[in-house]
């Protein structure tokens, strides 16, 4: 038995978001680590407080009210650590942070389609926006490159290129523009630089750049050869750089970092760690998908047998960036998800109002419908962008669709509303468009990143919490890849329960169907599919006596085809959306 269990260490995890700050308490219950309770408070990164520690204290105070246990020292207003004989305090603290504007990023690479693409993928693993790129074929004159860097004022520079022992002269050429720009910048405005290229140049690069950068990290080469890409070591270094930037930009984060003893991680990176762990835990040929739709960003973490893909899209967050969402989509694309006839002007007004007040709650059904439509389109855009970087050897039914995922974990206020899991599931089905057979889980307490950060302190805790009831199982989803006429039969299903009872579904194209199967129960599922349909076993091939698990919605059959094609007629489309929502228990 691990020593941490013997000593009964408790842990407090704090997640500082753009809209809300959460505090979660984990402790040993009957010799097993369990999620005990959580507290939530509005984040205080913005005016009038402009101090994230205030929101954290409020979240901990809310948690104290649930636990009936003192965690905050009333005198110092800090965390009581370690636990005291009177029962107060906690043994360890971890912090994750997603609040704050996306960092301005410049990427540098040799080949546009090789090292520069790797630098882009690396930068998209954290809360940053790539605003410019330097590469060998850059048509700009050296002085124009320098001017553009000075105008951009990047906070992060990700420099990649050169296989180990490979190109050196070309890297030095690109380095000169960055050197001059950093030299000219005021010292307090200089960027943090991550070099993840030719390892043979480590000493030279460090000597030339470290004195001109606000922070310098040398990471393992993300392109050790032309055919190989390895992002994981550099992702950790980039995460540490992001935390350092957040400490400068977010007042109060230094205090929280002291509470955590330096164990502070970006929320997205911590989520990616858990996706990596989850994919190894579940095994099998399918991938694992985690989607987190929050105020600061849309985060997609996908774990595959040989690779983890972490994508962070600040431009698709449901907070400040909403005012710019229409740069990436159209009002009509947002309205297609709504069951209400909403004037386009209301969408524009909503986006600007929500950008100003990210924590505002919908007051009318129309406002709620708009918020759901906007969230669905934001997640759809994030999934479409992330799909481009999923590995080519993943378990695809069709290469133009998403690969097969099992399980799918959903988090973020827009997705993890446990009061109406049917709406959450419909958002996933519409935006992520899973294929084949998947189990769906709601992280209604946003625990996944907290567990990723907790693993730094206690590797046993995340394992045991994942095996508990801290997450809400929605059930099993069957999504055939098929194209047919509306109403045509595409699948027959037979579900045999543990008590021997039997239930059947005759799924028609364009419809959603459900069969009850309670959380914690299992059953045997047999599928017979039409000639053109594929649920992951090949076109026209079904399966017999497949063991599946239940959840809040039991077994859900999505017969709307992939990719999902909504009717062009607005009235018909809204009628179908209402019908689908009602089928899954929504209103």
Residue 162, pLDDT above cutoff 90: no
How confident is the model at residue 587, as a pLDDT?
63
Residue 293, pLDDT above cutoff 50: yes
How confident is the model at residue 432, as a pLDDT?
96
- Which token pair is 518? 């309670």
Which residues lie below 8 Å from residue 210, measured CB to CB, with a gap of 6+? 216
Reference 249, options 322, 323, 155; nearest CA is: 155
Reference 306, options 282, 273, 280, 272; nearest CA is: 280
Which residues lie below 8 Å from residue 296, measured CB to CB, with a gap of 6+? 17, 18, 98, 99, 100, 102, 127, 314, 317, 319
Residue 540, pLDDT above cutoff 50: yes
Q: 304-327: per-residue pLDDT in tens?
A: 988 899 999 999 999 999 999 999
How confident is the model at residue 146, as a pLDDT?
94
Reference 8, options 26, 28, 24, 25; nearest CA is: 28
Q: What backbone phi and psi angles, to 5 degrees, belong to 367?
A: -60, -40
Is residue 8 very low, low, confident or very high in pLDDT (cuts 50, 70, 90)? Answer: low
**Contact of 98 with 267, CB cutoff 8 Å:** yes
How confident is the model at residue 535, as a pLDDT?
96
Reference 107, options 167, 173, 155; nearest CA is: 155
Q: What sections of 124-231 are H helices per DSSP?
A: 142-152, 169-184, 202-209
- Which token pair is 517? 């199967």
How confident is the model at residue 418, as a pLDDT?
56
Residue 486, pLDDT above cutoff 70: yes
E-strand ranges in 356-511 read 405-411, 436-442, 472-479, 489-497, 502-508
How confident is the model at residue 580, as a pLDDT?
96
Residue with the bigger pLDDT between 409 and 418: it is 409
Which residues lie below 8 Å from residue 500, measured CB to CB, with a gap of 6+? none
Between CA 427 and CA 474 the distance in angstroms is 13
How confident is the model at residue 283, as a pLDDT?
63
How confident is the model at residue 4, as a pLDDT?
41
The chain-wide mean pLDDT, for the chain, equals 92
How confident is the model at residue 5, as a pLDDT?
42
Domains and CATH numbers, the chain: 3-97 (3.30.420), 103-240 (3.40.50.360), 269-583 (no CATH)
Peptide bond between residue 82 and the one before it cis (omega within 30 degrees of 0): yes
Cα→Cα distances 19→25, 55, 99, 325, 358, Å: 20, 10, 8, 18, 6
Residue 395, pLDDT above cutoff 50: yes
pLDDT > 90: percent of the chain: 77
Is residue 478 very low, low, confident or very high in pLDDT (cuts 50, 70, 90)? Answer: very high
Mean pLDDT of 290-298: 95
Residue 466, pLDDT above cutoff 90: no
**Contact of 527 with 478, CB cutoff 8 Å:** yes
Between CA 63 and CA 154 the distance in angstroms is 38
How confident is the model at residue 396, as a pLDDT?
96
Q: 177-236: per-residue pLDDT in tens?
A: 999 999 999 999 999 999 998 888 888 888 999 899 999 999 999 988 878 889 999 999
Mean pLDDT of 82-109: 94
């Amino acid at each position: 038995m691990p020593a941490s269990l013997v000593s009964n260490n408790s842990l407090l995890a704090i997640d500082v978001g753009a809209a809300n700050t959460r505090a979660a308490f984990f402790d040993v219950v009957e010799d097993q680590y369990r999620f005990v309770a959580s507290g939530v408070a509005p984040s205080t990164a913005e005016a009038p407080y402009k101090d994230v520690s205030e929101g954290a204290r409020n979240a901990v105070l809310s948690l104290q009210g649930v636990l009936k246990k003192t965690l905050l020292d009333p005198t110092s207003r800090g965390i009581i650590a370690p636990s005291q004989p009177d029962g107060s305090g906690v043994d360890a603290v971890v912090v994750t942070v997603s609040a704050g504007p996306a960092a301005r990023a410049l990427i540098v690479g040799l080949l546009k389609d090789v090292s520069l693409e790797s630098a882009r993928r690396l930068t998209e693993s954290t809360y940053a926006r790539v605003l410019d790129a330097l590469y060998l074929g850059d048509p700009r004159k050296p002085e124009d490159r320098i001017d553009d860097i000075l105008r951009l004022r990047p906070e992060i520079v990700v420099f990649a290129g050169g296989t180990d022992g490979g190109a050196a002269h070309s890297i030095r050429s690109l380095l000169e523009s960055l050197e001059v720009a950093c030299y000219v910048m005021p010292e307090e405005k200089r960027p943090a630089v991550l070099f993840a290229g030719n390892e043979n140049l480590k000493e030279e690069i460090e000597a030339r750049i470290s004195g001109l950068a606000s922070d310098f990290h040398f990471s393992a080469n993300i392109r050790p050869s032309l055919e190989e890409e390895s992002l994981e070591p550099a992702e950790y270094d980039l995460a540490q750089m992001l935390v350092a930037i957040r400490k400068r930009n977010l007042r109060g984060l230094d205090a929280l970092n002291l509470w955590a003893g330096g164990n502070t991680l970006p929320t997205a990176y911590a989520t990616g760690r858990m996706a990596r762990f989850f994919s190894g835990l579940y095994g099998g040929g399918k991938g694992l998908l985690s989607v987190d739709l929050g105020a600061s960003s849309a985060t997609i973490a996908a774990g595959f047998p040989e690779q983890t893909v972490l994508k962070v899209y600040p431009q698709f967050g449901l907070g400040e960036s909403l005012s710019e969402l229409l740069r990436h989509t159209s009002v009509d694309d947002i309205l297609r998800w709504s069951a209400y006839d909403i004037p386009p002007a209301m969408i524009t007004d909503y986006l600007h109002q929500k950008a100003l007040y990210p924590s505002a709650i919908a007051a009318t059904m129309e406002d709620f419908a708009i918020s759901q439509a906007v969230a669905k389109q934001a997640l759809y855009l994030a999934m479409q962008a992330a799909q481009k970087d999923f590995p080519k050897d993943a378990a695809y039914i069709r290469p133009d669709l998403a690969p097969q995922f099992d399980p799918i974990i959903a988090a973020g206020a827009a997705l993890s509303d446990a009061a109406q899991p049917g709406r959450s599931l419909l958002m996933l089905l519409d935006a992520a468009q899973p294929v084949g057979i998947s189990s769906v889980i709601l992280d209604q307490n946003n625990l996944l990143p907290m567990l990723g950060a907790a693993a730094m302190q206690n590797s046993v805790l995340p394992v045991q919490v994942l095996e508990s009831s801290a997450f809400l199982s929605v059930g099993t989803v069957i999504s055939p890849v098929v194209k047919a006429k509306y109403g045509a039969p595409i699948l027959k299903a037979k579900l045999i329960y543990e008590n021997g009872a039997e239930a059947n579904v005759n799924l028609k194209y364009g419809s959603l169907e459900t069969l009850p199967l309670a959380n914690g129960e299992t059953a045997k599922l047999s599928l017979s599919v039409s000639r053109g349909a594929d649920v992951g076993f090949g076109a026209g091939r079904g399966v017999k006596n497949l063991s599946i698990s239940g959840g809040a919605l039991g077994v859900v059959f999505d017969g709307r085809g992939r990719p999902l094609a909504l009717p062009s007629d607005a009235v018909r489309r809204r009628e179908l959306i209402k019908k689908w929502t009602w089928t899954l228990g929504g209103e």
